[in-house]
Each structure stands twice: as C-alpha cells, then as structure tokens.
Amino acid sequence: MVDEAKRDRGLLQIDVDECKGCGLCIEACPPKVIGMSDGLNHYGYRTAVYAGTGCTGCGICFMACPEPGAITVLLATKQKPGGLAGSALRPGGATTCASN
C-alpha cells in the first residue's frame, strides 16, 4: 500500500502500442503500482497500466522491460529558488533511453 503522506518521486508512462503484456515490469516494480489492463491494445495484448500514483522513479520496470520504448520513467525534481513553485518532471538518466 502506498503511503498517502509521501509525494510521488516519479511518473511512469507506458506506451500501449509498444507493450506486449509480458508482465515483467509488474513483477519488478518495488512499490507495486503497475498492473495489467482489462482491455486489449490494437495488437490484441493486455498491456501494463500505471496506477497513477506511488511511483518512486527507480526505473526498475524500465530495465525489466524487453520491449524498446514501451516504458518511460520521469523523475520529479525540485525547482531552484526563484523558479516555479512545486516540482517538475524531467527525464531520468538511463530510464528514458529509447531502447532497452
């Protein structure tokens, strides 16, 4: 269960056109915020879906995914003083690589 007091440190994006529904990302996700969709994509696969909150930005799902470009992990960063309030999302190192 995700602690509601903690802020998300990342955001997960799954390209349903690239995902083949192998489930490796679901098994690899430490906070367990990835599940399997009920519907099918246009190839006939049930795809991975992000729960919408709870991502730690660790990138383990990205590393476990055998399908290039199916998963993108964005990391939350704090703004410097004088910048915009709150936090911004930025691509996180190797986790945004176009291919595994």
In DSSP terms, 40 is beta-bridged to 46
Return phi, psi of residue 11, to 5°: -140, 130
* Total number of domains constituting the chain: 1
> What confidence tier does 100 reach under pLDDT thresholds 50, 70, 90?
very low
Mean pLDDT value of segment 82-99:
49
| Residue 100, domain member (yes or no) | no
| Residue 2, domain member (yes or no) | no
CA-based nearest residue to 70, from 44, 43, 48: 48
Give per-residue pLDDT as tens, 23-77. 999 999 999 999 999 999 999 999 999 999 999 999 999 999 999 999 999 998 8
Q: Which spans in the chain are helix H?
A: 24-28, 60-64
pLDDT at 87 > cutoff 70:
no
Mean pLDDT value of segment 87-92:
54
Q: Find the domain containing 58 and state its range.
A: 10-92
**What CATH code is carried by the domain that includes residue 45?**
3.30.70.20
